[in-house]
Amino acid sequence: MKKQKYNIQVFAAGVLSLKETPGGYFKMKLAASGIAKAARPGQFISLQVNASGMPLMRRPMGIFSANKGAVEILFKAAGKGTEMLSRKKQGESVSVLGPLGNGFSVREELRHAILVAGGYGVSPIAFLYEELRKRKITTTVIIGAKNKKLIFKEGFSNPIITTEDGSEGFKGLVTERLNAACAGFACGSSAVFACGPVPMLKAAAEVSEKHGIECQVSMESLMACGVGVCLSCVCAVKEGMDTGYKRICADGPVFDSREIVWRT
């Protein structure tokens, strides 16, 4: 996959809005015209949640949307940093670094895309979904979670929903629906784009390979610097007959699934 290069910016972005959404997620809109103009689906930003510098490390956040001079992120208050972020008020500011990483690559000949999102993975998938709609590419969206309380489907048109406990949509895993969605599509004009937990990505890669369809995966990882310096977020990749390592933040987070050495 060809790497995308953009100018990284760091600045204080004003909070335009913050609201809690279904599934217990928070959606935050930030004034960031430069990032909104440059960002591509699959890229992310890194936030310093407190001006005092504590917590020390920035929090990486996938870009949910980028338009009209603003970027949106979707997150859960799962720890100290994100809990502090969830209490921000309109008019306050957050230090933002971005856009970071390499996003999804959409071929000119692509005619049908299957988007697979698990849990937090819905954020970059939502951004890609809007881009594909603008390009009039037919899309099938599959969203999965453990139960209906964790499903986020805002902005998607007729998504296929799966829950592990069967509380909404199909009971089971997203990859079961992916297998059905892949059947019958020409491999050269179709592609799978997935973001979510590593076991889900591995399964999506296997299903796509079985059908001969290209699959791009957005890898999730804890990150420290977010720009490839600290080497804290590496993943194993194939290098000929050997195994090498690439930085998820700088070389990814999006990879061709055939490149990854899956270890789950």
Number of structural domains the chain divides into: 1
Q: pLDDT band at 1, cuts 50/70/90? A: low
Is 43 inside any structural domain? yes
What percent of the chain is predicted at pLDDT more than 70?
A: 95
Average pLDDT over residues 233-254: 94
Is 129 inside any structural domain? no
Mind spelling out the 3-state secondary structure of the chain?
CCCCCCCCEEEEEEEEEEEEECCCEEEEEEECHHHHHHCCCCCEEEEECCCCCCCCCCEEEEEEEEECCEEEEEECCCCHHHHHHCCCCCCCEEEEEEEECECCCCCCCCCEEEEEEEHHHHHHHHHHHHHHHHCCCEEEEEEEECCHHHCCCCCCCCCEEEECCCCCCEECCHHHHHHHHHCCCCHHHEEEEEECCHHHHHHHHHHHHHHCCEEEEECCCCCCCCCCCCCCCEEEEEECCEEEEEECCCCCEEEEHHHECCCC
Task: Look up the CATH number of the domain holding residue 49.
Answer: 2.40.30.10
Residue 158 scores a pLDDT above 90: yes
pTM: 0.93
64 vs 6, which has greater pLDDT?
64
For the stretch 107-127, pLDDT in tens is 999 999 999 999 878 999 999
Is 91 inside any structural domain? yes
Is 187 inside any structural domain? no
Tell me, what's the pLDDT at 228?
A: 86
Is 233 inside any structural domain? no
- List the domain range (segments joined by +) for residue 68: 9-100
Is 85 inside any structural domain? yes
Tell me, what's the pLDDT at 81?
A: 87
Is 90 inside any structural domain? yes
Is 24 inside any structural domain? yes
